[in-house]
Chains A and B, each alone.
Chain A
Amino acid sequence: IQLTQSPSFLSASVGDRVTITCRASQGISNYLAWYQQKPGRAPDLLIYAAYTLQSGVPSRFSGSGSGTEFTLTISSLQPEDFATYYCQQLNTYPLTFGGGTKVEIK
């Protein structure tokens, strides 16, 4: 299953509302997770099962969608949110990741 993230690059300011889209090549129910990765670090889980916020993750992060289209929204971008974000499908082997969205400071 291919996952297509858009955009691949995003320039935004602190306080902006940011939305990242992940489209699956076939239906994956709600078996979708989102991760944040900073340079030189392992990915960190943000959201799983499409919309469940991982414990300890700020509430400005939210996820939605089902089937083939999903979104990750950051309601008010903070300085520590500048990173690369990946979606992942866990419905079918081989598990796959989207190509990533790099969020940079405008």
Chain B
Amino acid sequence: QVQLVQSGAEVAKPGASVKVSCKASGYTFTNYYIHWVRQAPGQGLEWMGIIDPSGGSTTYAQKFQGRVTMTRDTSTSTLYMELSSLRSEDTAVYYCARGPTSRFDPWGQGTLVTVSS
């Protein structure tokens, strides 16, 4: 079945970077875009950006421009999202989600990133 499995929880210090992985299985990796979404504790969903696993092209939300980098490894069907210059407001659960044009399905299980000194 189609599945996205994310890496485990991370704790990072302010100013540092964190890299979250998302391993895809059950479908042709290069056929579907992958989105990254985050959710701060008790808050709603926030779209961060999209990557085309085929060519690696990306589009980022303006809010994260300059701080986020989305990459992929086609040999292992794995996507990565790296966020730098972390601050306390970046504490959130980060999700990857497969995106046909009209919807996000399925989602990864989420990765909690805690930014704390």
Residue numbers of A with Cβ under 8 A of B are: 31, 33, 35, 42-45, 48-49, 52, 54, 86, 88, 90, 93-100
Nearest opposing residue in chain B for A90, CB measure: B102
Q: Give the CA-CA distance A94 to B62 in the complex, in Å.
A: 8
Number of residues of chain B lying within 8 A (CB) of chain A: 22
A97-B45, A97-B46 known; A45 vs B110 contact (CB < 8 Å): no
* Contacts between chains A and B (CB distance < 8 A), count: 54
Given contacts A54-B103, A97-B45, A97-B46, 15 further A-B contacts (CB under 8 A): A31-B102, A42-B95, A42-B108, A43-B95, A45-B105, A48-B103, A48-B105, A86-B45, A93-B61, A94-B62, A94-B63, A95-B35, A96-B47, A98-B44, A100-B44
Residue numbers of B with Cβ under 8 A of A are: 35, 44-47, 50, 59, 61-63, 95, 97, 101-110
